[in-house]
Structure 1
Amino acid sequence: MFAKVVRTLAPGRARQLGKLENTVVSIIAVATTAFFLMLAFGIYVQSQYALNWFIGAILAVAFLTTTGNPDRPTGRSLFSWTAAIVSIAIPAYFTLMQPIYEMRLPMIDGLNLADQIAGVALILLVLEATRRCIGMTLVAVVLIFLLYGVFGHLLTGPFWHRELSLEDMLYQIVFTTNGLFGPALSVAALLVFAFVAFGTVLDAAGGGDFFFDVANGLVGKQVGGPAKVAVVSSGLYGSISGSPTSDVVTTGSFTIPLMIRTGLTPTYAAAVEATASTGGALLPPVMGTAAFLMSDFTGIPYSTIIISAIVPALLYYLSVFLAVHLRARADNLAPSATSSTKNIVTVLRHSWYYLIPIFILIWYVMTIDRPAFSAALALATLVPILFVRLKRPVAVGKALIDAFDDTTRRMTGIGVACAVAGLVVGTLAMTDLTGKISTALFVLAQGNALLTLIIATIIVIVLGMGMPTPAVYALASVLAAPALLALDIPLLPAHLFIVYFASMSAITPPVAVAAFAAGTIANANPMVIAVQCCRLAIVAFIIPYIFIYNTGVLMIGAPANIAFSIVTATAGVVALVFAQEGFVSKPIGAVTRLALTALGLALLAGESLLALLLGR
């Protein structure tokens, strides 16, 4: 009985869309992508109107493309059609009422019955879409917070809050910019959308093939070439797409079978791909959704964030690359390149034009700090590349329409996650639970910085076991970040610390989406893959602690200190990987591995080692 209930509440599966459903979804998706690209180019539309469109489109697509649970038929569903129509009708109602809402006095003019019905219905639709697309775990977390908002006034002690009526809660959660329509949804719609569109069109223009050819030309002829190609190509592609799952599906379809054919086990091959793809969410110039949320939440310019993120991301990829190199040396694996493999010079000579949109993206992000416009402009430069690749205007038009369609479908999970995170953020704002939890964390850690960081890490990892990265960061940034800031940790390192661990949720069991995607390709157990991923990415769980105490690796400080920090951190990563793999030029013993571990940690911490140990 219990298993049946669990199965009923499990996430749905993709529908086999009929002609009618596919046409409706495609119309919504293409129109939505076109609309938000227009906004990215600078066409002005009041943000609330844009968010109304976004939430309506995302929910409608979610219901039409995802079944209620894994056992439901994948064909047409009356409930899904009804939910999709209501999902569009409610934001349309809000749009019509917006002029009236703008005249309303906050907390004085009440909500009418239609407003309340629409608000409750929208919350229920977001929760159901979350259950279908992400899972019951996230819904359960949100319900706990909502129930706290309803019944928290019955508690005693520090977690008591004033009694809130249904109207009070609806007003805060739905009719202000502090809840569902808050910063998380705004970032997804007005910023992330443009980058996802750029990545989708780049993929349609052959960008995935280009990155694979570049990686193969660089490292394909080395020992263990397939695994190294996976690391390099996934890093290059992931730095643009910002999506670990998309990266795994795109590059992993080439690299995972290639790794298996040259001697790696399916589990290890899938783990290499998933680990390398997850790092793309940490690697500039695009990074992932959490980085955009960080910029919006903190007010730190996105260009500043990506400059600070460069060295930690490169250290991450250095550790993964070196680990697969040592594994290849130990197992004496063959290169992947053949005599017909193009070298890097040949690849760039024939396909140099793929560098143009990437250069434009980086240049405009760094110089004008308008990320959405930069992504839209870079996307526009992909159109001539499509003409070079496909030749015929009709084929180019179809490729763009398909890419626009795919963009909104890819945004569904991100949009739903950001919407449901807004429900929690709104509840936190109403009840001041953020301050209470931060105080509790600080008291629990007794003011010890290291212990506070460890508790914050546990919070982020636990949240990451049931949530996608945007939701993890959105919640952890309001739950854990204030406690870190109370320790006088600077704003950028504190939030980047959370971004790192939130991004690691893609390979953290039990809900390791990147590992599941890789497991599908490799036909291997995703849980075993996720454990192997965590081993490969062990340095990623250490680096955030290092840049909290040693901000030189974030390019902060005097040039000499920055250079010293980068050199010692690089040496520390190398020592840790040697210790982890137990191999240098030959297998090494336990004592040597322990010594290398101690040396690596000391080099990473640098002059902050004493502060780290003392918790200051």
Structure 2
Amino acid sequence: MVKDEEAEIEIENDEMKKFRSFKGIIKKLIFIFAVVFSLFQMYIIYFPLNTIQVRIIHLMFALVLIFILIPGIKSVKSYDRISIIDGALVLSTIFSCLYIAIESIQLSNERLGNYNNMDVVVSTIIVLLVLESTRRILGWILPIIAIAFILYAHFGNWIPGTLGNSGFSFNRIVTTLSLWTEGILGTPLGVSASYVALFIIFAVFLQQTGAGQFFIDFSLSLFGRFRGGPAKVAVVASSLFGSVSGSAVANVAGTGTLTIPLMKKSGFSKADAAGVEAVASTGGQLMPPIMGAAAFIMVEVLNVPLIYIIVAAVIPAILYYLSVFIQVDLKAVNSGLVGLEKKQLPNLKKVIIERWHLSIPLIILIYLLSVVNTSPGKAALWATIASVVVTMFSKKTRMTFKNILVALERGAYAVLEIVAVCACAGIIIGVFSLTGLGLKFSGIIIDLAQENIILLLILTMIACLIAGMGVPTVAAYLIVSVLVAPALITMGAEPIAAHMFVFYFAIISAITPPVALASYVAAGIAGSKPFITSIRAFKLGLSGFIIPFMFVFNPTLLMVGEPLEIVISIITAVLGVTLLAGTVEGYFYYLNKLSSLLRVLLLIIALSLIHPNIWTDLFGVIAIAMIFGFVWLKRSVMKTEIIN
């Protein structure tokens, strides 16, 4: 690997510190197992097994690696050896998963609903293994939620009213959750096995090629010299890096180690520097083409091509980053922050000449999805192969066979969290399906909102922010979308808009206090206080909180509608988020520092531009023109008086 990639490798190693460190033959065996896991994901694209076999073997690989690599109890001794309990969990995983894989045909046909004792035992083991693996890799929150839902299914007959159920037997619950394709082996795990894993592996390969460093250097060379340059670099680099990583935390770690120190040097406080990076990195999951696992699950739920979701996400992502970029620029102007010296910046021409080819795999991916209409799994596979091939164009980027094996290993490790989340979320969704809770809850929330869609959207936003506080985006999206998205659709929202709304706020929860994971990671890099950082990040991303409401009321922002309508909506939305950024920052171009009255006026104008109505748009344009005209006239009069 080239020297430019050393920083990326260090970051990846930091992320792997939660894993055990082995030596000798055990280390080699784990390495081989991880590589085989990644190769299995590639193999099934062209040589598929039956649905249950694909999902259960995918789960088996992940659970085995989790139990081997992540200790159940954190202690110094637990990080260099496998305990007897871990060994038992590994053997239980292999036995149970292979049992279901081998018996899959009979379980789906002859024994469907008439399971024997061994089926029940294996089902129970699978549920327990999923809960324990999720606890190890994510902590207690999601497993506790899953356990609560299991208890709800069993003791539902004790609950009065609409939310109650008939109370299901233990055997019925565990077999439904483990053996049917509506529980652990349901859609989330199916999406993970079919193509999310491959997209994650592709992202790892792309980072291993040095593409991440190319994105950072490209952003530095373009924006580093301008006022507040390092912060603008963070915004642009994070949007590019995030389009590949699909994870807010990984994005912070990938770009923050460079951009945060640069921001601090240019005059940003520790908390502001960390806040900018957290907000910029969080938006990475909104940026196509990868967007994280939740986007792929949305594809299955809505039964639409992946390119449909990618196209729908483009304008909201651009609006999000535009609002952050403008607010950063306004802060730089207001605070007198300057850019970096030219000698500190990479040469743009040199960066492009030496590394432009590293962006080819992304172009190939988008081409295969949009033009050729290739399946997501095949597109990701060929893009991964392309990421290796393009490195051969230059000695500085060339991947060796060892580099390829390391990328396969790290790709397998990067998949583990998603598999655990999808499997555990499958328990929750399985209970929804078994008890009919989703439909019941949708009816209740519609009544609670009194058929007011604005109130329902606010309740949905709050639910997403709370759900996303302690769990990954995909889990928050799955839980809230099952409970609330049907209600939004019933009340008139476009299906794509309803699910994008939930998806958007599940992502934004990463910068929302009190638990803001992206902000806390950025604070660790900057050396700032986590809670203060999360407050700064929340303020910086505040104008972005309006964007989901915009596309629910105006689906043309999701590319739904006539071209002219889409163009007009984009123009008014850009004006709206620009004014919102100024309102939040308390400073705006030409108007300079804003009085309280002017901030309120700009807020009203911004909201009128955001509202999808020709008359409110005209009001907004005329009002902002009048304000600028009044300020210009006032300054002209003052200038004349001074001259006289």
Compute the TM-score of the two structures, normalised by the length of structure 2. 0.89
Q: CA offset at residue 511 of structure 1?
A: 3.7
Among residues 153, 165, 169, which one is paired with 2:169 in the alignment?
165
AA of the residue aligned to 1:35 = F
Query: Residue 465 of structure 2 contacts residue 509 of structure 2 at CA under 8 Å; is this kept in 1?
Result: yes
Match of residue 85 from structure 1: 91
Among residues 102, 105, 122, which one is paired with 1:99 in the alignment?
105
1:371 maps onto 2:399 in alignment:
no
Q: CA offset at residue 538 of structure 1?
A: 1.3
1:282 maps onto 2:295 in alignment:
no
1:384 maps onto 2:389 in alignment:
yes
Instruction: Sort the Cα spacing of 1:64 and 1:517 in 2 relative to 1 into closer, same or farther, 3 A.
Output: farther
1:342-401: per-residue Cα shift (whole Å, max 9, x none)? Answer: 4434422332212311110111111215222111111111112333455798x6111111
SS at the partner of 1:472?
helix
Among residues 427, 437, 443, which one is paired with 1:439 in the alignment?
443
Instruction: Sort the Cα spacing of 1:560 and 1:334 in 2 relative to 1 into closer, same or farther, 3 A.
Output: same
Distance in 1 (alpha carbons) for counterparts of 2:22 and 2:596: 56
Q: CA offset at residue 426 of structure 1?
A: 0.3
Q: CA offset at residue 340 of structure 1?
A: 6.1
Match of residue 26 from structure 1: 31
SS at the partner of 2:593?
coil
Among residues 558, 579, 585, which one is paired with 1:581 in the alignment?
585
Match of residue 601 from structure 1: 607
Deviates more, 1:439-448 or 1:458-467: 458-467
Query: Residue 464 of structure 1 contacts residue 508 of structure 1 at CA under 8 Å; is this kept in 2?
Result: no
Aligned-pair identity (%): 34
Query: Residue 266 of structure 1 contacts residue 522 of structure 1 at CA under 8 Å; is this kept in 2?
Result: yes
Structure 1: any 5+ residue segments left out of the alignment?
1-11, 611-616
Instruction: Sort the Cα spacing of 1:486 and 1:348 in 2 relative to 1 into closer, same or farther, 3 A.
Output: same
Match of residue 349 from structure 1: 353
Instruction: Sort the Cα spacing of 1:510 and 1:14 in 2 relative to 1 into closer, same or farther, 3 A.
Output: farther
Match of residue 416 from structure 2: 412
Among residues 417, 430, 434, which one is paired with 1:426 in the alignment?
430
Distance in 1 (alpha carbons) for counterparts of 2:544 and 2:314: 13
Among residues 519, 527, 546, which one is paired with 1:523 in the alignment?
527
Q: CA offset at residue 46 of structure 1?
A: 2.1
Among residues 165, 170, 186, which one is paired with 2:190 in the alignment?
186
Distance in 1 (alpha carbons) for counterparts of 2:249 and 2:458: 27
- For the pair shown, the structure with the greater C-alpha radius of gyration is 2
AA of the residue aligned to 1:304 = Y
Instruction: Sort the Cα spacing of 1:270 and 1:206 in 2 relative to 1 into closer, same or farther, 3 A.
Output: same
AA of the residue aligned to 2:33 = I
Match of residue 478 from structure 1: 482
Q: CA offset at residue 44 of structure 1?
A: 2.3
1:75 maps onto 2:69 in alignment:
no
Instruction: Sort the Cα spacing of 1:581 and 1:46 in 2 relative to 1 into closer, same or farther, 3 A.
Output: same
Q: CA offset at residue 448 of structure 1?
A: 0.9
Match of residue 313 from structure 2: 309
Distance in 1 (alpha carbons) for counterparts of 2:614 and 2:543: 18
Distance in 2 (alpha carbons) for counterparts of 1:60 and 1:526: 34
- Number of matched pairs: 596
Distance in 2 (alpha carbons) for counterparts of 1:510 and 1:114: 45
1:568-590: per-residue Cα shift (whole Å, max 9, x none)? Answer: 00000000000111112432211
Q: Superposition RMSD on alpha carbons, in Å?
A: 2.1
1:335 maps onto 2:356 in alignment:
no
SS at the partner of 2:493?
coil
1:460-488: per-residue Cα shift (whole Å, max 9, x none)? Answer: 11111121111111111110111111112
1:177 maps onto 2:178 in alignment:
no
SS at the partner of 2:431?
helix
**Runs of 4 or more off by more than 6 Å in structure 1?**
none
AA of the residue aligned to 1:231 = V
Query: Residue 390 of structure 1 contacts residue 396 of structure 1 at CA under 8 Å; is this kept in 2?
Result: no
Distance in 2 (alpha carbons) for counterparts of 1:602 and 1:332: 31
Among residues 212, 216, 221, which one is paired with 1:212 in the alignment?
216
Distance in 1 (alpha carbons) for counterparts of 2:174 and 2:110: 15
Query: Residue 231 of structure 2 contacts residue 273 of structure 2 at CA under 8 Å; is this kept in 1?
Result: yes
Among residues 35, 38, 44, which one is paired with 1:39 in the alignment?
44
Match of residue 244 from structure 2: 240
Deviates more, 1:324-333 or 1:521-530: 521-530
AA of the residue aligned to 1:378 = A
Query: Residue 30 of structure 1 contacts residue 408 of structure 1 at CA under 8 Å; is this kept in 2?
Result: yes
Query: Residue 489 of structure 1 contacts residue 548 of structure 1 at CA under 8 Å; is this kept in 2?
Result: yes
Query: Residue 225 of structure 1 contacts residue 337 of structure 1 at CA under 8 Å; is this kept in 2?
Result: no
AA of the residue aligned to 2:187 = P
Distance in 2 (alpha carbons) for counterparts of 1:290 and 1:66: 24
Match of residue 613 from structure 1: none
Query: Residue 358 of structure 2 contacts residue 391 of structure 2 at CA under 8 Å; is this kept in 1?
Result: no
Structure 2: any 5+ residue segments left out of the alignment?
1-16, 617-644
